[in-house]
Amino acid sequence: MIKVVGYSRVSSEEQAARDLSIPAQIKAIKRYVDDRKDMILVAEFKDEGISAYASADRRPGLMEMIKLAKSTDVSQILVHKLDRFSRN
């Protein structure tokens, strides 16, 4: 079984009000995992109101996710769209 974590982020209230909301991103990630019988979602992480341009140490959800990924056998990080993870 492939262990994965999900990461969601919004940088503004405007994004949160549109289809980029944290719940919408989590729903998309869960649907992706549910469609694959070889994956299990072991944790979800989020950062609200934080730009993708912010350094990793200013994104607590991202830092928690990295810590978990380094200390367990998580093999993939899933995001709704790549720009939720990083702009660079």
pLDDT > 60? residue 8: yes
Whether the per-residue pLDDT at 69 is higher than 80: the answer is yes
| 65 pLDDT higher than 80 | yes
Report the predicted TM-score, pTM, of the whole model to 2 decimal places: 0.84
Confidence of residue 51 (pLDDT cuts 50, 70, 90): confident
Q: Running DSSP on this structure, what letter comes out for residue 83?
A: G
In 3D, which of 87, 42, 50 has the Cα closest to residue 68?
Answer: 42
Estimate to the nearest angstrom the gap between the alpha carbon of 37 and the chain centroid. 20
Query: Are 4 and 40 contacting, i.e. CB atoms less than 8 angstroms apart?
Result: yes
Compute and round to an integer the Cα radius of gyration of the chain: 13
Residue 33 has pLDDT above 60, yes or no: yes
pLDDT score for 16: 53
Note whether 22 and 59 are within 8 A (CB).
no
Per-residue pLDDT reduced to its tens digit, 11-30: 765 555 565 788 889 999 99
The answer to whether 33 and 75 have CB atoms below 8 angstroms apart is no
The answer on pLDDT for 84 being more than 90 is no
Are 27 and 8 in contact, with CB atoms under 8 Å apart? no
